[in-house]
Structure 1
Amino acid sequence: MPLCRRSFLAALAALTLPPARLAAQPVPQVVDYPLFETPPATHRLAQTDLRIDGLGYRIFTACPLGQPPAAGWPSLWMLDGNAAFSRLNAADLAAHPGLAVVGIGYPVDTAVDARARSRDYTPPVAQWPEGDPAQRRPTGGDAAFRARLLGPIAGAVAQGMPLDPAARTLWGHSYGGLFVLGTLFATPEAFRAYVAVSPSTHFGGGALAGAEARARARTGAPARLLIQLGDREYRRGTEAPATPRPAPQTMALAERLARRADLVLELEVFEGLGHGATFAASFPRAFAVAQDGDQPPVP
């Protein structure tokens, strides 16, 4: 409990300036995969398409070379797998040669499948706020997708490489970050650590609040929760705040979660970054948490 408070207060006191590489341009609409064109020396790469419940998924994997630990490799599971693997580079993997990386994406040529991710990553909404653009896409399928992820998708991945089921980290950005938080609330033992990057905590007029209210405490060791966001993020269709600041709704959520004894919270605010730029900005810390999930954050 004291560690959670220290981590939260330390993050509030000192905003983290990201590395220079984080000024990169947003992910292009149609993507290629440099990582596959020049494979890293530390990992074996693969991709495969799955059909589950009549829906298509594309799974990207980077499996460490060498002899795995007795329990299997620790792993980082990344939503929006197409975009994630288009942005990963050999240095990301070389810095963590003992970490397996799994990208869960869709069989498309673009960075994201907007309709599919909206369907899969969002909770049900009782009533949409008037004029919310998300009404134009299918939503509310997070529970069904969670069942696919933890069931047939995880089973298919496990057939291809030995993974430690007790050392998994789930990562997601935007709607993906919303799904990460929803998964923490619904199935807190499913992953050892959770990384929510710029989570869409405003979705559906606060639909996440219901999941938070129904959340049950995690049993066993506390889960690691890393929340990352920029200080220049604001909702589409609204004016930018006069003074840069991280999203108040997400900061309030972090403050509440810092009080939970079953979580070890770390908050990272990227100075000068907007919503899209936090995607790749999150990689260094997220990879470190996934590799060393049992290690507490540095106060």
Structure 2
Amino acid sequence: MTTMLFARHEASRAAAPAGRSAAQRAADQPAEIIDDPRIERFDLAAEAGAASWHIQVARPAGPPPAGCAVLYLLDGDATFPLAWHAQAAAGIRDLALVGIGYPGGRRIDVRRRYYDLTPPTAAEYMRVRDPAVRTGGQDAFLDFIAGPLRDAVARIAQPDPARQTLFGHSLGGLFALHAMMTRPALFRSYAAADPSIWWNGQSILREAAAFAGGIDAAGGTLARPVRLQIETSGSLPPTLGRARDDAAREGEEPAAHGLAHRLAAIAGFEVYLRHEAHETHGSLMAPSTVDAVAFAAGAVPDGVQRLAR
């Protein structure tokens, strides 16, 4: 892996919503549409008649390589523009971007993302006021990414299978961790920003324990090395308040930090961590997207700590 420092593009940071209340207001705002001949946009479904996703694919800026790095961006209607601007500011040319969003033109489709990004969730753990919200679609969504979407990207961008990264924020971060622990070979790198570890009674930590136990039983080393970058913010979504399990009291270390250290102890894992005390859960989306661009390009974002085994 090429190691370099990567300075953030401050314009991307400035675009971040200031906290969750601002993020809620921003969710229904129109998504930024970038007009460039390198970008292809299309709707894609897992099968005929099923609900589709809105996909944006940006080819690498440089001459078509034999195989380019690829960054898959969850909540793509919000994160794809941030990644596009960050990539341009950094002059990264050998990286394709894939934004996975939803038809409709909004930055965030709240109901669909709840379904796509979560495991089946017991009623006792539901902290969502909208009665129309459904959960439990994460494995079907992962099947879509691993199958129809990757096939479509392969026809457009000539990806290098060994240089592919999945990035998600909040529930997207939770999904990225689930993908990593259930199909670690699907991507070379995973980036999770403020992953919602509290979701479903912290079921992701039980999943992590089973994942680590399976590795131990198989000899203690990942069959294929994995890179993981975790970033956390310094405050909680206000609507969750003290009910949230992973960092509900001021000054308490987020559960994501403990998970990062446990995974770093496994041979074959390359784990990076950054805590953004000055960022909120909502405002972390923009700078963590910038860092994900660097990470996908094989760089070490400035200020990110690599955890020792």
Q: What is the CA–CA distance in structure 2 between the aligned matches of 1:135 and 1:74, rounded to whole Å?
A: 38
Deviation (angstroms), 1:81: 0.7
Kindly indicate whether the alpha-carbon contact (under 8 Å) linking 1:74 and 1:99 is maintained by their aligned counterparts in 2. Answer: yes
Residue 229 of structure 2 is aligned to residue 226 of structure 1:
yes
Structure 1: stretches of 5+ with no match in the other structure: 1-15
Helix, strand or coil at the partner of 2:38:
strand
Of residues 234, 237, 242 in structure 1, which corresponds to 2:240? 237
Q: 1:78 aligns with which of 66, 70, 73?
A: 73
The equivalent of 1:265 in structure 2 is 271
Paired amino acid for 1:251: H
Partner residue of 1:175? 171
Cα pair 2:173 2:195 within 8 Å, conserved: yes
SS at match of 2:172: helix
User: CA offsets, 1:125-154, max 9 Å, x none?
Assistant: 3x3336622783111111111111100111
Per-residue deviation, 1:19: 4.8
Q: Alpha-carbon deviations, 1:148-205, whole Å to 9, x = none?
A: 1100111112112211112100000111000000001000111010000110000011
Show structure 2 runs of 5+ residues with no match.
1-6, 18-22, 216-220
Take 2:40 and 2:182, find their aligned partners in 1: how far apart are those partners? Answer: 30
Offset at 1:91?
Answer: 4.6
Asked if structure 1 preserves the Cα contact closer than 8 Å seen for 2:60 and 2:157, the reply is no
Counterpart secondary structure, 1:177? helix
SS in 1 for 2:267: coil
Q: Distance in 2 between matches of 1:130 and 1:90?
A: 37
Q: Distance in 2 between matches of 1:185 and 1:129?
A: 25
Alignment-derived partner of residue 30 in structure 1: 29
- Is the Cα contact below 8 Å between 2:71 and 2:293 reproduced in 1? yes
* Contact persistence 1:35–1:90 (CA under 8 A): no
Q: Map Cα deviations across residues 14-65 of structure 1 (whole Å, 9 max, x no partner).
A: xx999575243526222242532xx4xxx81121111224011011111114
Q: 1:87 aligns with which of 76, 82, 88?
A: 82
RMSD after superposition: 3.0
| Residue of structure 1 equivalent to 2:261 | 255
The one-letter code matched in structure 2 to 1:129 is E
Could you say what secondary structure the match of 2:180 adopts?
Answer: helix
Report matched runs for 1:1-299 at 5 Å.
Answer: 19=10, 22-26=13-17, 28=26, 29-33=28-32, 35-36=34-35, 39=36, 44-53=38-47, 54-70=50-66, 72-95=67-90, 96-125=92-121, 127-129=122-124, 132-133=127-128, 136=131, 137-215=133-211, 216-217=214-215, 219-234=222-237, 236-239=239-242, 244-245=250-251, 248-292=254-298
Give the length in aligned residue pairs: 276
Go from structure 1 to structure 2 and tell me whether the alpha carbon gap of 1:66 and 1:201 turns closer, same or farther (over 3 Å shift): same
Q: Secondary structure at the match of 2:42?
A: strand
Are the aligned partners of 2:142 and 2:179 in contact in 1 as well (CA < 8 Å)?
A: yes
Matched-pair contact (CA < 8 Å) for 2:65–2:94: no
CA contact (8 A) 2:171 2:195 kept: yes
- In structure 2, relative to structure 1, the CA distance for the partners of 1:273 and 1:159 (3 Å cut) is same
For 2:238 and 2:267, the matched residues in 1 are separated by: 31
TM-score normalised by the chain length of structure 2:
0.79
Instruction: Report the alpha carbon displacement of residue 292 of structure 1 after superposing the two structures with TM.
Output: 1.0
- Structure 1 distance, partners of 2:193, 2:39, is 25
Instruction: Give aligned-pair identity as a percent.
Output: 33
SS of 1:254's partner is helix
Preserved contact between residue 234 and residue 247 of structure 1 (Cα < 8 Å): no
